Amino acid sequence: MPTRRTPTRRKVRRRINAQAIEAWKRCDYQGLHLALGVAPWEQSPLPEEVTALGVSEHGGPARTDNRAELWDASWQQAIEFQRQLYEVAGPPDIEALRREYTKSLEDAREMVAWAQQSGSERLGTYLVELDHRERLLERLLG
């Protein structure tokens, strides 16, 4: 007897909900991903000023590794979510934005310090990321 089961590989339509709006306002990366059902390997709809894993309309630093295919493929989805969230909820809370951004900048500084101390071959990558974070802060405050 045939059944009317929903195919497991169907397209899932993700929607903006109350939890997503609250997480957006608080700049809560993990909460926003959970509320929207965004996978860990997908870009966050949060602005790139908040998290290195966020997006912006004019793009961010180019990823140079080969593992970036799924990441790059999620850019359009993240931008669409970002546009919808701006339309529905407005921009994230500026104080939450500054707190999260300052934390992100401190993390980048710690990575540079660690790379300098350990003589890591990734020091150049960390320096580029730190410079990018500092320019974003200037843009946010200016």
**Strand partners of residue 47:** 55
Residue 22 has pLDDT above 90, yes or no: yes
- Assign 94 a pLDDT band (cuts: 50, 70, 90): confident
Reported for 90-94, long-range contacts at CB under 8 A and 24+ positions apart, including other chains, are 92/24, 92/25, 92/26, 92/27, 92/46, 92/47, 92/50, 93/25, 93/26, 93/27
Note the residue count of the chain. Answer: 142
How many other CB atoms are there within 10 angstroms of residue 96's CB atom? 15
Higher pLDDT, 77 or 97: 77
Q: Which of 16, 17, 43 is nearest to 29 (CA)?
A: 43
Q: What is the mean pLDDT of residues 102-113?
A: 89
- DSSP state, residue 47: B
Cα–Cα distance between 31 and 92 in angstroms, integer? 14
Residue 7 has pLDDT above 80, yes or no: no
Residue 117 has pLDDT above 90, yes or no: yes
Q: What is the mean pLDDT of the chain?
A: 82
